[in-house]
Amino acid sequence: MHEKQTYNVIWFRNDLRVFDNYSIEKARKENHPTLAVYCFDPRHFEKTKFGFKKIEKYRAQFLIETVQNLQKNLKEKLNISLLIFHDYPESVFPKLSEKYHFQKIFLQKEWTQEEAEVQKNVHYHLPEVEFIETYDQFLFHPEDIPYESFQNIPEVYTQFRKKAEYHVNIRPPANLPQPQPKEYLVEHTTQIPKLKELGLDEFEKDSRTAFPFHGGEEAADLRIQHYFWDTCQLQHYKKTRNGLLGPDYSSKLSAWLANGSISARKIYWEVKKFEKQVVKNNSTYWLIFELIWRDYFKYISLKHGNKIFQLGGILNKNLDWNQDKEILQNWINGETDEPFVNANMKEIAATGFMSNRGRQNVNSFWAKELKQDWRIGAAYLESMLVDYDVHSNWGNWMYNSGVGNDPRDRKFNIQLQAKRYDPEKKYLQTWLGGQKELF
Ligand SMILES: Cc1cc2nc3c(=O)[nH]c(=O)nc-3n(C[C@H](O)[C@H](O)[C@H](O)COP(=O)(O)OP(=O)(O)OC[C@H]3O[C@@H](n4cnc5c(N)ncnc54)[C@H](O)[C@@H]3O)c2cc1C
């Protein structure tokens, strides 16, 4: 038997980029060669207790494209092989360790229960290996925020934002390291699974979609190029962000941010560049303001742990919730009494995307009007959204369901919302067109 080659591994999960990736930077400072691993975890394509798969076809397709692009970039820019598996990480790593000797595994730190458990199990199988975890999904790095413990994060967003904005300097992006020698590339036959192999249906993009984009770091860069530099839409963002139709009413960066194919830091520094070179105004600031919301929900989940998934939410509120299968089916199918809700539900079913305005309304209607278990609504969006992010989804759902961080516990007047944001009924026409009598 010949000696196993020693490698350090980068285990990619929600940090699917080569630029501004601290795990890559750290791994490449080590003496040993690096290889990379990504697992399409079969549990993500199974139904949960709420009856939906965690990942439906829209996000799965986006993920496939993202991983393809990551594999190409790692190879071309860094001479790092990305081995891709459709298997449980707890099975993949022990098998790989029969072939290679692993010294360290570098990965983005995740803290939600399922991710933490999988990681614990991998560690159990590889007790000798050192795990180097880095918080790499934030704008305000956890070591820089002006709170001694996550327990001190305020429950009101504005308090968090003002204090953090005052105290924190956004870190510069991580450097792209020099490529390792080509001989460190490993021979492998691993392949990216197809939608069918993940148990999902192939589909054509709906021509009405507000999200006609592909996954991957390069596609994210193209989006920035378009939204910031080619069309300068960024300078109007605050006025257009409540739009409903077309790709350009908002940045549409959420899906790349969610799987980490772009970093929030990179977007921040691009906004700063735009402010220097084109214009600095309320709109350019507002994109950063929204990125801080994204951070905020991550800090709320760090503070409250599993409470974000519980019926009483972070408030431990004991409200009257129901679980009615017919009401659920009508909501999903866009067959409720509210045309504006229906249009939004049809949009997400056909495209995997829904505007922020739409999400607030369908959430409020589901939880506060129909009084249905808010977690079922959250689980449906988890399944369907191309940009699903555990903290943003469950945090926003709690917020709009009266068990989270909304200090005013507001309920949306759906008809007024429709009048205000779709005064000419173009959105209703687009999604309920054939059913004019319904609106
Ligand atoms: C019920 C509900 C569920 C949601 N689920 C998700 C989710 O799973 N994943 C997700 O990324 N966002 C979620 N959001 C937040 C928001 O709707 C989306 O981030 C936004 O619509 C994405 O479009 P955009 O990238 O064009 O956003 P833009 O308006 O261009 O905003 C820029 C970025 O700021 C962040 N952001 C904006 N609004 C919010 C917000 N309310 N909370 C947290 N971050 C925000 C996003 O990263 C977004 O990409 C949810 C909102 C609601 C009300």
Any idea what the CATH number is for the domain that residue 283 is in?
A: 1.25.40.80
Indicate whether 323 and 391 sit together in one domain.
yes
- Does residue 182 fall inside a structural domain? no
Span from the CA of 306 to the centroid of ligand 1 (angstroms): 21
Tokens of 9: 């591994």
Indicate whether 274 and 163 sit together in one domain.
yes
Distance of CA 299 to the CA centre of its chain: 15
- Model confidence pLDDT, tens digit, residues 49-106: 999 999 999 999 999 999 999 999 999 999 999 999 999 999 999 999 999 999 999 9
C-alpha angle with apex 55: 49 to 58, nearest 5 degrees? 145
- Does residue 198 fall inside a structural domain? no
* Domain final residue pick, 278, 307, 336: 307
- Does residue 438 fall inside a structural domain? no
Tokens of 226: 């378009």
Please provide residue 60's backbone torsions phi and psi, each rounded to the nearest 5 degrees: -60, -45
251 in a labelled binding site? yes
Q: Which domain holds residue 38?
A: 6-136
Between the alpha carbon of residue 316 and those of residues 142, 301, 319, 414, 437, the distances in Å are 26, 14, 9, 27, 42
Span from the CA of 301 to the centroid of ligand 1 (angstroms): 16
Instruction: Return the ligand 1 atom nearest residue 264 CA.
Output: 47
- Does residue 212 fall inside a structural domain? no
ipTM: 0.99
Indicate whether 342 and 287 sit together in one domain.
no
Is 172 a residue whose pLDDT tops 70?
yes
Query: How many other C-beta atoms lie within 10 A of the C-beta of residue 221?
Result: 16
Using 50, 70 and 90 to split pLDDT, how confident is the model at 148? very high
Instruction: Return the ligand 1 atom nearest residue 387 CA.
Output: 9
Span from the CA of 36 to the centroid of ligand 1 (angstroms): 29
252 in a labelled binding site? yes
**For the chain, what is the domain count?**
3
- Model confidence pLDDT, tens digit, residues 181-222: 999 999 988 899 999 999 999 999 999 999 999 999 999 999
Indicate whether 379 and 413 sit together in one domain.
yes
> How high is the pLDDT of residue 3?
82
- Nearest residue CA, atom 6 of ligand 1? 393
Indicate whether 159 and 271 sit together in one domain.
yes
> How high is the pLDDT of residue 434?
72
Indicate whether 290 and 423 sit together in one domain.
no
Indicate whether residue 381 lines ligand 1 (CB < 6 A). Answer: yes
Using 50, 70 and 90 to split pLDDT, how confident is the model at 437? low
Cα atoms in the Cβ-side hemisphere of radius 13 Å centred on 102: 28
* Domain final residue pick, 272, 289, 307: 307
> How high is the pLDDT of residue 438?
61
Is the distance from CB of 117 to CB of 89 less than 8 angstroms?
A: no
Using 50, 70 and 90 to split pLDDT, how confident is the model at 2? low
Indicate whether 287 and 353 sit together in one domain.
no
* Domain final residue pick, 87, 120, 136: 136
Indicate whether 323 and 251 sit together in one domain.
no
- Model confidence pLDDT, tens digit, residues 355-382: 999 999 999 999 999 999 999 999 999 9
Q: What's the mean pLDDT when you consider all of the chain?
A: 96
Between the alpha carbon of residue 128 and those of residues 94, 99, 102, 103, 207, the distances in Å are 12, 15, 9, 8, 52
Indicate whether residue 387 lines ligand 1 (CB < 6 A). Answer: yes
Indicate whether 278 and 156 sit together in one domain.
yes
Indicate whether 278 and 163 sit together in one domain.
yes
Is the distance from CB of 340 to CB of 428 less than 8 angstroms?
A: yes
Is 227 a residue whose pLDDT tops 70?
yes
Tokens of 137: 């999904």
